[in-house]
Homo-oligomer: A and B are copies of this chain.
Amino acid sequence: MVLTQRPNPRRPTLQDVARRSGVSKSTVSRVINDEPKVRAEVADRVREVISELGYVPNQAARQLVTHRTHAIAVVVTEPDNRLFLDPFFDCLLRGIRRELAQHGAQAVLLFLDEADDYPRVADYLGGGHVDGAIVFSLRPGDGLHEMIDRIGLPAVFGGRPLLRDGDRAHRHAHVDGDNRGGARQAVQHLVSLGRTRIATVTGPYDQETSAADRLAGYRDVLPDAPPDLTERADYTRQAGADAMAALLGRRPDLDAAFVASDLMASGALQTLRAHGRRVPEDVAVVGFDDLTGITESTDPPLTTIHQDVDGMGRLMARLLFDAERIKAPATVVVPTRLVLRGSA
Contacts and interface: CB of A to CB of B under 8 A. Distances in A.
Nearest to A97: B111
Contacts of A69: 60, 129
A89 B90 CA distance: 14
Q: How many copies does the complex hold?
A: 2
A274 interface: no
A11 B229 CA distance: 55
Contacts of A155: 5
A56 B119 CA distance: 12
Interface stretch (A182-190, A191-199, A217-225, A315-323): A315-323
A3 B151 contact: no
A14 B5 CA distance: 31
A250 to B, nearest CB: 30
Given A4-B154, A104-B1, A321-B4, A71 B129 contact: yes
A121 B106 contact: yes
Which one of A6, A104, A108, A329 has the greatest number of beta carbons of chain B within 10 Å?
A108
Nearest to A319: B4
Given A71-B129, A81-B94, A89-B84, A105 B152 contact: no
- The size bracket of the interface on A is 35 or more
A58 interface: yes
A57 interface: yes
Interface of A: 1-9, 11, 54, 56-64, 67-71, 73, 81, 84-87, 89-91, 93-94, 97, 101, 103-111, 113-114, 116-117, 120-121, 123-124, 126-129, 131-132, 150-155, 173, 319-323, 325-326, 329
Given A7-B154, A56-B126, A106-B121, 20 more contacts: A1-B105, A3-B321, A4-B319, A4-B320, A4-B321, A4-B325, A7-B132, A7-B152, A8-B152, A11-B152, A56-B151, A60-B63, A60-B128, A61-B64, A81-B91, A84-B89, A85-B85, A97-B111, A97-B113, A108-B109
